[in-house]
Amino acid sequence: MKHHLIELSENQRRQYVDGEALLRAVMEAQQDAAEVRGSMLWREMRGVRYLIRTSARGAQRSLGLDSPETRGVHERFLERKHAAQLRLKSLNERLVEQQKLNRVYRVGRAPNVVVRILNELNKAGIADQFLAVGTHALYAYESACGVQIGTEALATRDIDLLFDTRKNMAFLSTMKRLDTSLISVLRKADSSFKVLRSQLQTAVNDTGFEVDIIRRMAKDADPHPLRMTDDENALWAVQVPSGETMLSSQTFEQMVVSVSGEMAMMRTLDPMAFMRVKKKLAQSPGRDPVKRPKDKLQADIVKHLWDEYLRHRPAA
């Protein structure tokens, strides 16, 4: 099994650790900046002055009459907004330099489009409603171990995003608030993504890379069938038998780095849960025989990573 793994150099490990610390700081700063999006302004109506809160989409609501309290609210908002913008600008400048160093040290291996998709899900505030499952989870596991897995286990031209149907209301609320759709979020990562007419759960870009939206088998109050949003070109989520098992497993979060040096946090399955799913697939009579050897290889590699590097993490 060891011949599938290459240890990162000390410089690569140090670069990765520095990058992860910076990315977490950037994500926190993005959240702070999002909380003060829009503006506050004073408006006089019928001779009375009101403090108005304006959202980024232009929606307005009154925060009350002009008073020492509302003037304090206005002042603190402006201070927070200014500080958040300055911090985010500074961190983004550092992020650009970090990405360059990632390329220099060859830290990144994940496909650029995958990392960009993960970042757009995070920016939209819906990252916690999806799990990146399947082959691309290996990039998270290898990053946590400070190794690189042999390319024979990583070759794939698609990513499965498992949607947590238990969070459907939160997802729809966010999409409505942002006045957007899931396919629009994906197009911010790559503008060429389009929904396949023959497979409405799949978006494909001009290079042939596919994003599949999957879900657990419908149960309880799950909507079924599940159209992700109401727009004309909406993605639909398709049921998969292993969906419930994956959703009920412990999650695993780790930074992944793309070939171009971009960084993103990936939420995926706990390594042992991944191993069990892949092992079951490899043994399933209905599994495509072409895919079975790769399923087994991936299960064996992740089991080895667990035994040698990840055993200190709580098991699923």
Lowest mean pLDDT among 34-38, 181-185, 196-200, 310-314: 310-314
Domain final residue, candidates 65, 86, 107: 107
171: left (phi over 0), alpha (psi -120 to 50) or beta: alpha
pLDDT in tens, 207-244: 999 999 999 999 988 999 999 998 878 999 999 999 99
Residue 316 is assigned to a structural domain of this protein? no
Count of CB atoms within 10 A of residue 64's CB? 11
Give the model's pLDDT for residue 42.
95
Same domain membership, residue 137 and residue 76: no
Q: Range of 76's domain? A: 1-107
The alpha-helical segments, DSSP class H, found in 159-209 are 168-178, 182-189
Amino acid at 303: K
DSSP state of 228: S
Are the C-beta atoms of 249 and 275 separated by less than 8 Å? no
Residue 177 is assigned to a structural domain of this protein? yes
Taken as a whole, the chain contains a residue count of 316
Q: How confident is the model at residue 314 (pLDDT cuts 50, 70, 90)?
A: low
Average pLDDT over residues 164-174: 95
Bigger pLDDT: 67 or 231? 67
Residue 164 is assigned to a structural domain of this protein? yes
Q: Is the pLDDT of residue 312 over 90?
A: no
Same domain membership, residue 290 and residue 143: yes
At residue 121, the 3 state secondary structure works out as: helix
Average pLDDT over residues 6-27: 96
Q: What is the mean pLDDT of the chain?
A: 93
Cβ neighbours of residue 34 closer than 8 Å, sequence gap 6 or more:
125
Angle at 50 between CA 48 and CA 56, to 5 degrees: 150
Of all residues in the chain, the percent with pLDDT exceeding 70 is 98
CATH of the domain at 275: 3.30.460
Angle at 150 between CA 99 and CA 107, to 5 degrees: 15
Domain final residue, candidates 38, 73, 107: 107
Average pLDDT over residues 71-95: 96
Same domain membership, residue 67 and residue 168: no
pLDDT in tens, 262-307: 999 999 999 999 999 999 999 988 888 988 999 999 999 999 999 9
Distance from C-alpha of 113 to C-alpha of 275, rounded to nearest angstrom: 25
Q: How confident is the model at residue 315 (pLDDT cuts 50, 70, 90)?
A: low
Backbone angles phi, psi at 110, to 5 degrees: -65, 150
Give the model's pLDDT for residue 241.
92
pLDDT in tens, 111-144: 999 999 999 999 999 999 999 999 999 999 999 9
pLDDT in tens, 170-210: 999 999 988 899 999 999 999 999 999 999 999 999 999 99
At residue 70, the 3 state secondary structure works out as: helix
Same domain membership, residue 280 and residue 166: yes
Helix axis angle for 271-283 and 137-145, nearest 10°, is 130
Are the C-beta atoms of 221 and 167 separated by less than 8 Å? no
For 213-223, letters b (16+ CB in 10 Å) and e give bbbbeeeeeee
Give the model's pLDDT for residue 1.
47
